[in-house]
Chain A
Amino acid sequence: MKDVAVVGGGPSGLAAAVRLAEKGFDVAVIEVMGELGGMLEQCIHDGFGTKVFGETLSGPEFAERFVKKAYSLGIQVFLNTYVKQVKAGGRVKEIVAVSPSGVQRLETRAIVYAIGCRERNGFEIRLGGTRPAGVYTAGMVQRLVNLYGVLPGRRILIMGGGDVGMIVARHLQLEGAESILIVFPEAGFAGLPRNVQQCVLDFGIPFKPRTVVKRVIGKERVEGVVLTRVDEKWNPIEGTEEFYACDTVILALGLVPYTGELKLGVRIDPATRGPEVNEFFETSVEGVFAVGNLVQVFDYVDDAVETACIAARGVEKYLNGGLKTSPVRLAPSGKVRMIVPQRVEWVDEENVVAFLRPAVEKSNARIELRSSGGKVLERFFRRYVRPSTLERIEVSRSVFSGQREVETDIADG
């Protein structure tokens, strides 16, 4: 029997596995793909690791540090292995997994889920028109271009002005696309300023804000799209339709936690769309932890990795019989879209690390934690907050003592 089984061999899963192995636990990593590293293998641009390593690395470089560490610690790695079924109700948990060598059963005392996120697809936004070849998700394009050297097309339309859309635009520009246009229903880009400057402005890539694809046109292959302008509520404005010729449509519609693959009845937070977790990233099922982009989609891999490191401490406490008290709910409010963790319940001394996404754009903002009676328990000053940047706060333990619910809000500075 293993002490811990980590499901998912991306950066978060590997970070959890490495931390736990360093603490002396017997750890196995189960990865569905043929190699470790997860989505970072296709993210060949730089900018990873500024918080964890204090230097800027490419995706593969960041991943490789954890992969090498995992192998050097003797962590057992199952590649090409898909978790089919999990029984996690008791102290001994059973995983049934399928791989080319057959069906395997693995018993473990704790599970860390790190299966990341998935891309939103055309069906979720009811993309209209025909279904020709040449419609891809952005992540698929990254894989094709960066792992296989295949350019998906020459005349490119990208739907989505977030970080992924911008980064894919830069790759395609450098790799020889003839034309690129980015359309987005918002008034401006939704990603980090760094990406707006370095991916879009550096190369002068055209951008149409307040614009969406009404339908895709083409029989065998994409021949173009019908674009339409939208108002602030994303409603199409009549009479603004225009044809745009292209051979490729790339969907960069955002990422959502991959909870569809969680085969146990953990509670899901409708705001994050990931599992609800406590301050050590334990789900509503005891001894089952969730980390990284599965919990909520992070802007920085560094933050995702931090959740794994925090969870490793939680797994240690769980396996050593640590104590819990009655849970204190940590809730978002009007100006906070979501917060992780959703509850605080372990007996522990250290500060609680929380990540929250603002619902508003504001300068000189104060992130406030309030009791249910409205008393401000702790506040954090920020020069500027905006929805596209996740905020990390470190909350004193004492804030939660004697409370049943603590609310987070953003007030004027």
Chain B
Amino acid sequence: MRQILQTAELLCTRCPRGCLLRVKVVESRVAVEGNECPVGEKHAAEEVFNPRRIVSTTVRIVGARLPRLPVRTSEPVLKSRAIDIVAALKNMVVEAPVKAGQIILKNVAGTGVDIIAERDMERA
């Protein structure tokens, strides 16, 4: 008998319908129920094996017109790491000026992904 390794419920985000997908992982393959179209299956596989998100937050900035600089991960990271990433930036302080896209922190929380500035921040 095949062993069910994992089950999950998730919403398909590929169209406005938002099907509730019931996913079972069976021997490194997914079995999906609740999808109204084939896109749902592909989506479920990606979400189960590789659920990645861009994580956005702010860091403290000194010498600028505003006290916070919006930053994000340069690429999507595993969603389970979101809280660690924000925690790693909690006490960080950067100094103006900063340019949009500038790397603020390399390899945040050991994810291999960098944190970049979302906007220019001039020296005030």
Is the pairing of A and B real?
yes
Let me know if A363 and B70 touch, CB within 8 A.
no
A363–B17 Cα gap in the complex (Å)? 8
Whether A383 lies near B70 (C-beta < 8 A) is: no
Which residues of B in the span 10-24 have a Cβ within 8 Å of any Cβ on A? 10-13, 15-18
Encoded as 1 (CB less than 8 Å from any A CB) or 0, chain B from 1 to 39 comes to 000000000111101111000000000000000001100
Contacts of A193 in B (CB 8 A): 11-13, 15-18
Binary contact readout A382-412 vs B (1 if CB under 8 angstroms, 0 otherwise): 0111101100000000000000000000000
B58 lies within 8 A of A149 (CB): yes
Residue A46 at the chain B interface, CB threshold 8 Å: yes
Our pick among B11, B66, B83 for the contact of A174 (Cβ within 8 Å) is: B83
Tell me which residues across on chain B come within 8 A of A35, comparing CB atoms.
65
Stretch with Cβ within 8 A of B (4 or more), from A121-129, A197-205, A226-234:
A197-205
For window 44-72 of B, CB contacts with A under 8 Å fall at 53-58, 60, 65-68, 70, 72
- Nearest opposing residue in chain B for A382, CB measure: B16
In the complex, B105 has a CB within 8 A of chain A: no
Q: Are A64 and B119 in contact (CB under 8 A)?
A: yes
Does chain A have a CB within 8 A of B86?
Answer: yes
Q: Give bound CA distance, A201 to B53, whole Å.
A: 13
Decide if A60 is an interface residue (CB 8 Å cutoff).
yes
A44 touches B16 (CB 8 A): no
Contact B119 A174 (CB under 8 A): no
Which of B68, B79, B118 has most A Cβ within 10 Å? B118
Decide yes or no whether B103 CB sits under 8 A from chain A. no
CA–CA, A202 to B68, complex, Å?
Answer: 25
B13 touches A58 (CB 8 A): no
B82 in the interface (beta carbon within 8 A)? yes
What is the interface size of chain A, counting residues whose CB is below 8 A from a CB of the partner? 35
A52: min CB distance to chain B, Å = 17
Is A174 within 8 A of B72, CB to CB?
no
Identify which of residues 85-104 in chain B touch chain A, using a CB-to-CB cut-off of 8 Å: 86, 100
Q: Assess whether B16 is in contact with A64, with CB atoms less than 8 Å apart.
A: no
Q: Is the CB–CB distance between A174 and B120 below 8 Å?
A: no
Q: Say what secondary structure dominates the interface of chain B.
A: loop
In the assembled complex, 25 residue pairs joining A and B whose CB atoms fall closer than 8 Å, in A order, are: A44-B57, A44-B70, A45-B54, A60-B70, A61-B118, A61-B119, A63-B119, A145-B58, A148-B66, A149-B58, A174-B55, A174-B82, A174-B86, A175-B57, A192-B13, A192-B16, A192-B18, A193-B11, A193-B16, A196-B11, A201-B11, A202-B53, A202-B82, A383-B17, A384-B17
Instruction: Determine whether A146 belongs to the interface, using a CB cutoff of 8 Å to chain B.
Output: yes
Distance between B112 CB and nearest chain A CB, rounded to angstroms: 19
Across-interface contacts of A45 in B (CB, < 8 A): 54, 56
**Closest chain B CB from A168 CB (angstroms):** 13
User: Top 8 nearest A-B pairs by Cβ distance?
Assistant: A193-B18, A389-B16, A384-B17, A44-B70, A60-B119, A194-B13, A46-B54, A149-B68
Return chain A residues, CB-CB under 8 Å to B100: 60-61, 64
Q: Which residues of B lie under 8 Å from residue A140 when comparing CB positions? A: none
Nearest residue in A to B85 (C-beta to C-beta)?
A: A174
Q: Take A61-B118, A64-B100 as given contacts and tell me if A46 and B72 are in contact as well, using a CB distance cutoff of 8 Å.
A: yes
The answer to whether B70 and A385 touch across the interface, beta carbons within 8 angstroms, is no
Inter-subunit contact A44/B79 (CB<8 Å): no
Q: How far, in whole Å, are A28 and B36 apart by their CA atoms in the complex?
A: 50
Instruction: Tell whether A147 pairs with B79 under 8 Å between CB atoms, given A175-B57, A202-B53, A384-B15.
Output: no
Query: How far, in whole Å, are A309 and B100 apart by their CA atoms in the complex?
Result: 25
Residues of B within 8 A of A384 (CB): 15-17, 36
Residues of A contacting B57 in the complex (Cβ-Cβ under 8 angstroms): 44, 174-175
- Scoring A residues 138 to 175 as 1 if CB is less than 8 Å from chain B, else 0, what string do you get? 00000001111100000000000000000000000011
**Pair A198/B53 contact, Cβ less than 8 Å:** yes
- Chain A residues with Cβ below 8 Å from B10 are 197, 201
Q: Is B118 touching A58 in the complex (CB atoms < 8 A)? A: yes
Question: Residue of A at shortest CB range from B72?
Answer: A58
B52 to chain A, nearest CB (A): 11
Q: Does A80 contact B (CB under 8 A)?
A: no
Other A-B pairs beyond A41-B119, A44-B56, 17, CB < 8 Å: A44-B118, A45-B56, A46-B72, A58-B56, A60-B119, A61-B119, A64-B119, A145-B58, A146-B58, A146-B68, A149-B60, A174-B83, A201-B11, A202-B82, A383-B15, A383-B37, A384-B15
Q: For residue B120, which residue of chain A has the nearest CB?
A: A64
Q: Point out the residues of chain A lying under 8 angstroms from B119, CB to CB.
A: 41, 60-61, 63-64
A202 close to B118 (CB less than 8 A): no
A406 to B43, CA, bound (A): 39
